[in-house]
Amino acid sequence: MKAIFGLGNPGVHYQWSRHNVGFRVVDRFAEEYRILVCTKRFKAVYGTGLIDSQRVLLLKPMTFMNLSGEAVQKGVHFFHIEMKDLIVVHDDLDLAFGRVRFKRWGGDGGHQGVRSIVESLGGNAFLRLKVGIGRPPKGMDPAEYVLEPFDATEQAELEGILSRAADSLKVLISEGIEAAMNRYH
């Protein structure tokens, strides 16, 4: 089973924030492949489905970002997910807006949600799909920037970016990481 965990913050206040792009990618993927993500358990909402005969788990932690590891750890243990089959989708300040990039293991890059997952799982040998949100304007605190909604120009491009990210996950599941990296980097 492959597991795709999208990161974000719960609640309507954060729903459209840059930090919630991981949730939005999982939502787009679920919509495109008709996977219901509505079961509530272990501080998360999740759903399962099939993609090219591969069983897939989609999960969104309902903790705040810096506690994402709690829900991820419970989901990983409940479904017996190996780290090599875990894909975490999250926003990335250091990646230009709209870029998507897979990363194999490594550090957290300053992302509190990823840090929480690494600490909770006791390792970092999972894949990440990073979705670029770009850097904040000069003088703006990055912590404030990630909690703001996308501006009008970004919003106009966002639907295409979400679809591209969802498509990259499909390629990852169907054809493997090398094919996904070659096609989407």
- Catalytically active residues, by annotation: 19
H, E, C per residue of the chain:
CEEEEECCCCCCCCCCEHHHHHHHHHHHHHHHCCCCCCEEECCEEEEEEEECCEEEEEEEECCCHHHHHHHHHHHHHHHCCCHHHEEEEEEECCCCCCCEEEEECCCCCCCHHHHHHHHHHCCCCCEEEEEECCCCCCCCCHHHHHCCECCHHHHHHHHHHHHHHHHHHHHHHHHCHHHHHHHHC
Q: Extract the tokens encoding 116.
A: 């929480």
Amino acid, res. 37? V
165 CB-contact burial (10 Å; exposed 0-12 / middle 13-18 / buried 19+): buried
